[in-house]
Amino acid sequence: MGNSKSGIVSKEILEDLKLNTKFTETEIGQWYENFKKQCPTGRISKEEFEHIYGKFFPESDAQTYAQHVFRSFDTNDDGTLDFKEYIIALHMTSTGKTTRKLEWAFSLFDVDKNGYITKSEVKEICAAIFKLIPKDELSSLPSDENTAEKRADKLWTFFDKGDTDRVAEGEFIQGVMENEDALRLIQYTPLK
């Protein structure tokens, strides 16, 4: 982590973030100052992350989805996000290249982190995504997507797999990139 006494990012982390994100050195410095104000310990707990994430979806239940997002970015599995993990998360969910975003989406759906996605994992994440949809938007969903189970079933069909098969990362990325409906089903974009 950065030098917490002087409030600056370490050179190693700064160079790594400049290389792997679109952010400039100045932007990273500003993000770090803000991060240190919000998180004086230099880490965000899962509960803090859920609270922050929930603010983006005030009319929905974002807790379950936030837990999965947190897990996918807690790359060292220590139960917290440090500054580097936080910036990578910010980059991936806002402006990352499509392939990189899909790599992240794969890690989100790979609940048990075994390198494959099963239909039950798709159902689990689709259920979490479904909770993000405000109740007043549910009636406008197509009939084959108006429940979490239907969304998961529809998404799974794009991979051309049986119920007990599994999908590798490359298959996931290819399947989603080749189909706009699949891309739409792996996320929720508010109407408002």
The domain ranges of the chain are 12-95, 98-187
pLDDT of residue 176: 92
Q: pLDDT for 35-47, tens place per residue?
A: 888 889 999 999 9
Sign, CA dihedral 86-92-94-95, equals positive
Q: Kindly report the number of other CB atoms within 10 A of residue 152's CB atom.
A: 23
| Nearest Cα to Cα of residue 3 among 34, 46, 32 | 32
CATH architecture of 12-95: Orthogonal Bundle (1.10)
The reply to whether domains 12-95 and 98-187 share a CATH topology is yes
pLDDT at residue 7 greater than cutoff 60: no
Class of domain 98-187: mainly alpha
Strands, E assignment, the chain: 43-45, 80-82, 116-118, 166-168
Q: pLDDT for 157-187, tens place per residue?
A: 999 999 999 999 999 999 999 998 998 899 8
Single-letter amino acid, residue 169? E
pLDDT at residue 121 greater than cutoff 90: yes
Q: CA angle 184-189-192, nearest 5°? A: 140
Element (H, E) at 58: none
Q: How far is CA 101 from CA 41, 114, 126, 142, 176, in A?
A: 28, 19, 17, 25, 11
Q: pLDDT for 143-156, tens place per residue?
A: 999 999 999 999 99
